[in-house]
Amino acid sequence: MAKQVVPEGARRRRRPTRGGTVLSEEIIVRTALRVLREHGSTGLTARRLGAALGADPSTLYRYFAGMDDLARAIGDELMGRALDSWTATGDWRTDLRALGRAIHASYLAHPQAAVLTASRVTGRPREIAVDETILGILRGAGLPDAVAVRVYHAFIDQSLAFAALDAGSLALAEEARAGDEEMWHSTYARLPAESHPNIAATAHLLARYMPHSAYPVALEILLDHTAAQLRRGRDAHGTGG
């Protein structure tokens, strides 16, 4: 059973930790990101995090209801960092492209944390701010609400799905990741055209592109679809464009 979080006003420790730090949610989340980087997505425990903070593990429950609550806060932090790095231009396509890439990059900067949090809905303020921004771009572009929500759904799930997929690769040990990438040369490139004509014809291209993320291509496909939805709506109302 999750422990009850101490109310906001009572959270701050009266005394610094052994390392001289006065704890806060921000410091705990930042330290958790470091623990994840060092120990992987399964290595984040209250005991290990407490040791990194120089505090008793039970202190964490003054700030978070449990480790799952902390995971949500980490996801919220990654979303917030993406939004902080993004600047609106007023052009819907430019803005969506830049925000999608910012989300993807924010998660890939912390691949172990991405593996842990990309599939979560945090319900926290910074994630909500990202969602509000995306919907605002789509509705501001002129999409009807039902279409805007469908595109939003595809956009955010696509961004996070590729973040999780690409982060999973980055989180592998270097030897394992190199072995996966070499497979395109050692196995696929050697398949005979008689039995695998399509792979044989494109093997050199597969070896070039497959080790890299397909997210930029997938994002452009979604943006093309969104542009088509906008044109369809304008044509239906006789507004041209």
* Cα→Cα distances 79→40, 90, 95, 157, Å: 20, 21, 16, 13
What is the pLDDT at residue 39? 93
Per-residue pLDDT of the chain (241 residues; tens, 9 = 90+): 444 555 555 555 555 566 567 899 999 999 999 999 999 988 999 999 999 999 999 999 999 999 999 999 999 999 999 999 999 999 999 999 999 999 999 999 999 999 999 999 999 999 999 999 999 999 999 999 999 999 999 999 999 999 999 999 998 889 999 999 999 999 999 999 999 999 999 999 999 999 999 999 999 999 999 999 999 877 776 655 4
Contact 71, 89 (CB under 8 A): no
What is the pLDDT at residue 1? 43
* Cα→Cα distances 225→2, 140, 147, 238, 239, Å: 43, 17, 11, 20, 19
Distance of alpha carbon 50 from alpha carbon 56, whole angstroms:
5
What is the pLDDT at residue 22? 81
Q: Residue 190 gets which letter from DSSP?
A: G
Distance of alpha carbon 124 from alpha carbon 8, whole angstroms:
15
Residue 27 in tokens: 């410091």
What is the pLDDT at residue 106? 98
Residue 196 in tokens: 């695998």
